Structure 1
Amino acid sequence: MAVEGTPVELVLDTGDDDREYAEEQLQYLLAELSHLDLASIERTPSLLPAPPGTRSSGGLELGALVIGLGGSGALLPVLVGLVQDWLNRRRSGTIRIKIGDDELEVTASSDEMRQHALEEFLRRHGE
């Protein structure tokens, strides 16, 4: 996997075990992400064992992406805003945003503490 620029991992949790629904939601998210000027978007290899009855263990983990922001990382606030808006429109689910060892969990509900955590995360990874 070749990620260009600052790698940002996004992991979507739809809140249920329906793999078909999770994949559908991930495709909707990917469609919106494709409108941003991102350096790259990759699906991450699965770290989970294959489902019972299947042969392959090299499948893709549903809901996991690695995004390359490009050189400056100036797109991070735009990316986080898109994720937050996307979740709020669905009124469910969680997306973990991870850069290195730093992680932020964004949920559909927004309150003052979550907004503060978001601002702090962006500050740590700003210019």
Structure 2
Amino acid sequence: MVLEPDPETDPEDRERLARQLRNELRTLEVDDVTTVEGAAPPEGAKGVGASLTELLVTMSAGGGVFVTVIATIKDWLGRRGAGHKVSVTIDGDTLELSDATPVERAALIDTFVRRHQPA
């Protein structure tokens, strides 16, 4: 998962945002949430460098945890205002959550979750 804060966000706030998201995800029934050091930014990313934070979320529980992780990211973004983005990638399939309308975001999330939900 890649967090890309609004380009206008200062470095201290970027770090704070990353810690807040990581801490919220750690409250879920996931195995671990770690920062990926030295990770290359996603292709086409703007503001490369300190504006990107990559997190690795490890889950071994049932499919409900995956849905909860996506819902938590959506909720976290909703409380932060426009300009921030979070991309979630599974097996090369990427879902970008940003300033889409609530209806658009719900449709994107539903499609992504159905594709990656365990049978």
Range into which the TM-score falls when normalised by the shorter chain: 0.7 to 0.9
Uncovered stretches (5+) of structure 1, i.e. residues with no partner: 1-9, 49-59
- Say which structure is richer in strand: 1
Q: TM-score, normalised by structure 2?
A: 0.79
Deviations along 1:13-60, whole A, 9 cap, x unmatched?
Answer: 111262221111111112211211111111112135xxxxxxxxxxx9
Aligned-CA RMSD value: 2.1
The one of 9, 26, 36 equivalent to 1:44 is 36
Aligned counterparts of 1:26 and 1:80: Cα–Cα separation in 2 = 16
| 1:40 counterpart letter in structure 2 | D
Q: Do the aligned residues in 1 keep the contact of 2:14 with 2:51 (CA within 8 Å)?
A: no
Identity of aligned residues (%): 24
| CA distance in structure 1 between the aligned counterparts of 2:98 and 2:52, rounded to whole angstroms | 18
2:24 aligned with 1:29: no
The superposition leaves residues 67-114 of structure 1 with CA deviations (integer Å, 9 ceiling, x where unpaired) of 001143431110010000011011131100111200000125533222
1:80 aligns with 2:70: yes
1:96 is paired with a residue whose SS is strand
Q: TM-score, normalised by structure 1?
A: 0.74
